Chain A
């Protein structure tokens, strides 16, 4: 009889445990992933209507290897005659679609993305403001971008001196013409 009581008690205790676990709210549980080290952050600044595919692929490879998050940051220029916090619908028109394209591609590669928009009087100023606000472990830029539409050689030099993170400047290559553009968005957006 004692054995039966013990077995019944064990079964009841087990069922109660399962039930309590089931009824607990999701935030009451601590996922195993909470114990791992902080996620690394890779900044991928870009300007204009396209982003170097090489720069993105480099960021995606590193992000996969290091379980990192890619932070694509659109650098927007605000005319000097407007307040710095002015809305920029024309630039956003391009940036939003491009960010969607980047996020779709990153998701296909299984990489986490957390996009940003940074405003400044120049591209360098926008980047500086972003770097002042947030910390990044790596910054990846392509040296092939035209300085008329992106970061100039001076900006890249400034970046190397200024950023307390590992900076990867991709050297020019024959496939630099490959870009991820707004045409890369799949499906309804």
Chain B
């Protein structure tokens, strides 16, 4: 009788350990965004996770997949992020220079107060589409670990290049322009 109780307790302990391992494995399998940037920069062209988010100004929503057929420069930013302030004018330039050529710049503001982000957009005169994801639910899918990060998505919705940090230096800007050309299929 005593050994039966002992066996039950031991079985429960083993079951708990197995359950914890299963949860760990599940979380690792589920977290697919972690290596998206690495796969993109290796040339694998992983699919860009789709999202539908409110426009920052509150007028309607934007779904990423609705931009299929266009090259997309997806920039993840926040108003409190210092490198984002340095990068914003350049992204506006990219948008103005390429919008007529089938390129859309999309700014994804995250982990931020909406009002602060709206002030940021007005201050830097951003005219490209901006979406708001306060809780940051979209970030895991892209494996975003810091701000800013930029993803260049081709006409078929696949990521051709990823940039961790601001696209500020000449080298990064040349890389971005090359990635945009690749995404446009030229």
Partners in one complex: no
